[in-house]
Structure 1
């Protein structure tokens, strides 16, 4: 699974894309939902927890935490943005 990173998430993780292996698991099962993916990433990259929000897009649409994901989806982490 390839995850596209933007803004501060790119700075925290240190790259603009992140590959997650098909065999990556949480507890006793594979990562299957957006919630599980976020939890996994926050364990590996604890600085992500400091963000006021972290949206996830799956196939170019914002996704809720219960959205099922698979290795063929295009996933993006979208940090909080500011602008004027």
Structure 2
């Protein structure tokens, strides 16, 4: 199982802090594609992705028991 974590606007659009994916290993790009197809109003533009607390690229492989975090840009003052 792969655990997906969502923060801020991504969490609001999906309606949950976490989701789990069952199945084989896949790339970050494949997970993004699944999310965009499942949640058409979701925007991942500018969203950083981390796998097991380390920033990841679209071509990186996610394996069983990994945790993938979707971290949107934040602003503050």
TM-score (norm 2): 0.87
Segments of structure 2 that go 5 or more residues without pairing to the other structure are none
Q: 2:4·2:68 contact (CA, 8 Å) conserved in 1?
A: yes
Kindly provide the CA deviation profile for residues 36-59 of structure 1, in whole angstroms up to 9, marking residues without a partner as x. Answer: 11111111011223x531211001
Greater helix share, structure number: 1
TM-score (norm 1): 0.80
Higher RCO, 1 vs 2 (CA within 8 Å, ≥6 residues apart): 2
Residue 47 of structure 1 aligns to a residue whose secondary structure is coil
Whether 1:5 aligns to 2:6 is yes
Aligned to 1:58: 51
* Paired positions, count: 76
Aligned to 1:82: 75
Aligned to 1:25: none
4+ aligned runs moved over 6 Å, structure 1: none
RMSD, matched Cα: 1.4
- For residues 15-26 of structure 1, the aligned pairs below 5 Å read 15-22=16-23
- C-alpha change, 1:7 and 1:16, in structure 2 (3 Å) is same
